[in-house]
């Protein structure tokens, strides 16, 4: 098993992972990712920026994440709470694992990888957000030591719970 930067030829497999996540959320009544997002265009942009990563096992993509050291404009305003600090941070977006591989700590491996990228960039903070109704993701983040800091809003106005971990 390896984690590497995504390539354009991975897009089909990445979209399979995303579609699994969309179906799983839909089945659990979670409205996140039910409007055609993320799509191939978003994933292509992620690959172009060099911030898209895949988890590969036996030559196939089983997980994906967008991980970047930098500022996330949607995190500038937070309500019903506050960030743990105002230090520079790494952001994780669009993390997903293929259904057949869930429950085997593969998502944890992607988050550990993100933490490693942060440390290698001399950053000690990770931020991520998820839908209020995405209870599995919220439990997962809490289990990994992430703290719910408050509510942020996406560009389209959707609310998300924002999490932060100091590493």
Write down the mean pLDDT value for the chain: 96
| DSSP code string of 95-114 | EEE-GGGTTSSHHHHHHHHH
pLDDT in tens, 53-108: 999 999 999 999 999 999 999 999 999 999 999 999 999 999 999 999 988 899 99
Buried b or exposed e, range 79-90, using 16+ CB within 10 angstroms:
eeeebeeeeebb
- Average pLDDT score over residue span 127-138: 96
Domain range for residue 91? Answer: 2-166
pLDDT band at 46 (very low <50, low <70, confident <90, very high): very high
Which is it for strands 60-69 and 147-153: parallel, antiparallel or unpaired? unpaired
**CATH number, domain at 8?**
3.40.630.30
pTM attached to this predicted model: 0.94
pLDDT for res 35: 87
Element (H, E) at 42: helix 40-49
Judge whether residue 118 has pLDDT over 90: yes
The percent of residues in the chain predicted with pLDDT above 90, rounded, is 93
Number of domains comprising the chain: 1
């Amino acid at each position: 098993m390896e984690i590497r930067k995504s390539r354009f030829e991975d897009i089909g497999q990445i979209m399979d992972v995303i579609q699994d996540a969309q179906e799983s959320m839909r089945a659990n009544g979670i409205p996140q990712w039910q409007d055609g997002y993320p799509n191939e265009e978003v994933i292509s942009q992620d690959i172009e920026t060099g911030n898209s990563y895949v988890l590969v096992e036996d030559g196939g993509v089983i997980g994906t994440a967008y991980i970047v050291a930098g500022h996330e404009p949607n995190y500038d305003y937070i309500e019903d709470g506050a960030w743990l600090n105002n230090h520079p941070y790494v952001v994780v977006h669009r993390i997903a694992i293929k259904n057949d591989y869930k429950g085997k700590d593969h998502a944890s491996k992607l988050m550990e990888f993100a933490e490693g990228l942060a440390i290698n960039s001399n950053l000690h903070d990770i931020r991520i957000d998820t839908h209020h109704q995405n209870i599995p993701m919220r439990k997962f983040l809490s289990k990994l030591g992430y703290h719910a800091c408050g509510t942020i809003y996406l560009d389209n106005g959707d609310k998300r719970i924002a999490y932060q971990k100091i590493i």
